[in-house]
Structure 1
Amino acid sequence: MLKDEVRDVLLGKKKVNKRQVRERTKKCVYYAEAGKEAIFTGKRAEAIAKNILVSVDSTVTEIKGQTAQPGIARGIVKKIFRAKDMKKMNKGDILVSIATDTDVVPAMKKAAAIVTDQGGITAHAAIVSRELGIPCVIGTKIATQVLKDGDMVEVNATAGIIKKLS
């Protein structure tokens, strides 16, 4: 829900539109520009997403990003998007995610290296990887699209490069 919608519900001005919430949980695009925001659902959301999402060449074997914590590690990719995904993470795996947050710190502690699509030097993944001394590459933009669970990779976080080995 948009902040104005939440405010109106809390003030009793509106009731929660359950149909709208269901639609948004299926597929939605949040858009903000010049102080205005909107949420699109259904076919409109699909059309917008199609134009925004980066198409990735399936033959990509090397991904570049920014070094957050230097080091080199090899391991098996485990894509972690939410806390419930952590159960598949084993010690020595390579954690790959769009971004990290406090919910996935237990998985981060098991990782041989961390790779994220988003983030800068002050991102959660960058800060935690430095605290833990785990090699980390951030801001790859495409790691979650190129890498699959079970892929063997080498993360050269010193150079900001992830190589797909299998």
Structure 2
Amino acid sequence: MGELRTERLVLRRWRESDLEPWAAMNADPEVREHLGEVMTREQSDASVAAFEAEFDERGFGWCAVEVAATGEFVGFAGLDPVDEEMPFTGVEIGWRLARSSWGHGYATEAARATLTFGFETLKLPEILAITTATNVRSQAVMRRLGMTLTDKFDDPTAPEGPLRPSVLYRIQPT
């Protein structure tokens, strides 16, 4: 997976310069609202190291997202195999953006490019999306992408509490 470009965005491998804004995103309670506790700088940096190692291993993964016109890092998007603990298997699409980038359509735009890559290049038969039952913003993106709600379940990887009830959306290539 090389660089993916859209009209306004570039999805690319991670750079050292992404670590600071990524850590700031992960320290923002509003960004982490549906993901769990805020992350320390060390945890945030370790997540990028893991993303890069997984990318090297399988050729795709979580990409840094930047605004093409400015080069500003605004978050991540990509594909990742579903956690082994989940009650289903497959490859999931995901995204996370800095709060300052919300409301610009970037999540949908990055996700569309990611779906195209997943279906046309990886030849995936289906792509999944998972989020908490209360994450209405991400679910709206899933619906805009043409994804269909297929299941409600308790996420076994989430701690007991409000982050455990989750939803599963699916899409197949057209």
| Bigger relative contact order, structure 1 or 2 (CA pairs below 8 A, ≥6 apart) | 1
Normalising by structure 2, we get a TM-score of 0.26
Normalising by structure 1, we get a TM-score of 0.27
